[in-house]
Chains A and B, each alone.
Chain A
Amino acid sequence: MGCRMDEMLGEGQIWYLNPKNYAHRMYKKREPGGREATTMLAGAEEIRASQVADRPIGEVVRDAAEAKANGDLDTFHRLIRELNEREAKVPGCHVLPLEDCFRVVDLVQGPMAAMMCICRKNVRGEEASCLDEYSCMGIGTGMLKWERWPERYRGGIEFLSPSQAKEWLEYWDKRGYVHMVMQEGQDFIGGLCNCDYPACQPLRLRLDYGVTSWLVKGEYVAKVDYNQCNGCGDCIKRCQFGALRYEVALDKANIDPFLCFGCGLCATICRRSAIELIPRERFPALANVW
């Protein structure tokens, strides 16, 4: 059993490897009531009636953080719980390793455009104006309308061929950014991002606020081969999820499989190929940990 996106949209495979999720439903469906996503399940209406309703995820979490700052933990936990319940009905963002990013590029068969990262703009005031600074990718025919919203695509965009897209992904992997399929409730795949903590909102909100629904763990878990690992420590600083530690007694990298999101950044830096990405389902205790 895969993650909820695999179950609803995968049809037997990883959902982001199913071509139907790219060629199909390229345009946002607009529903009455303002929310643009089509939900995976019927019966989402009762969630909309709650306090959390249709408010953007970031605003709900800001309110939750404010409640916590005022010492009101009951409101904090209630808002986060209601948010998770709401978001569990739609696709979430999904961490994936570089190899799977390449498979995604091969499946897109349509426009791919690199652009600035809105999360890093909002959290760190970052500006981007060239390909080396564009860490996010928009996928699909919607990108052909980008010039209507120059502030959203501040600094311009650059369309990429499949081989250029792979080079670009490799560049961000080298720099240590986590790859993820970016979702804001849609049921088609429209974005592929290269992310970091704390700027990336799906990442931040999961790690600091328990919003487990917006960012889903990857389909793999990293594992160190202790026969190959020489304790150099290069991989330790690559982990944005806090899953990597240096184990002093063994002089090895230690990966906590319960914290690992399977992004593969540790594996791609290892000069001895001592880290392998193993499909999550092969660990009985992790098969349903998303």
Chain B
Amino acid sequence: MLSPKITIDYSKCTIPFDCKRCLQTCASAVFMLVTLKSERGKETDKEETGAYRVEPWFRDRCTGCMDCVKACPVNAITIKVPKEVAP
């Protein structure tokens, strides 16, 4: 079994914690928010570019449904379905 390849263009996806659409759309919960900036004494600004990042974490659970691609308001997600897919 080969799962779909998921690519996120981080020049387009800059404020994922503010947007959160792929996180809330994916029925298989493939994506995970990673907190890159965490300072003592201060909550991280959701709208700061690069403070958070969304990553395809559980890629083996991706069915290739494309709901995330459709939900992304900045077209940052690319899904490539391999010729050999899950049975």
Within 8 Å of chain B (Cβ to Cβ): is A271?
no
C-alpha gap A147/B28 in the complex (Å): 34
C-alpha gap A224/B10 in the complex (Å): 51
**Cross-chain contact A123 with B59 (CB below 8 angstroms):** no
Given the interface contacts A62-B57, A65-B57, A125-B17, does A154 sit within 8 Å of B33 by beta carbon? no
**Cross-chain contact A65 with B61 (CB below 8 angstroms):** yes
C-alpha gap A124/B61 in the complex (Å): 16
Within 8 Å of chain B (Cβ to Cβ): is A28?
no
Instruction: Please give, as numbers and ranges, the residues of chain B lying within 8 Å of A147 by CB-CB distance.
Output: 41
Beyond contacts A62-B57, A125-B23: 9 other A-B pairs, Cβ-Cβ < 8 A, are A68-B1, A71-B2, A122-B33, A123-B32, A125-B33, A150-B42, A151-B37, A151-B38, A198-B28
Q: How many residues of B contact A (CB 8 A)?
A: 30
**Cross-chain contact B59 with A198 (CB below 8 angstroms):** no
Prevailing SS type, chain A contact patch: helix
Instruction: Please give, as numbers and ranges, the residues of chain A lying within 8 Å of B42 by CB-CB distance.
Output: 150-151
Within 8 Å of chain B (Cβ to Cβ): is A204?
yes
Within 8 Å of chain A (Cβ to Cβ): is B83?
no
Within 8 Å of chain B (Cβ to Cβ): is A25?
no
**Cross-chain contact A65 with B58 (CB below 8 angstroms):** yes
C-alpha gap A63/B53 in the complex (Å): 18
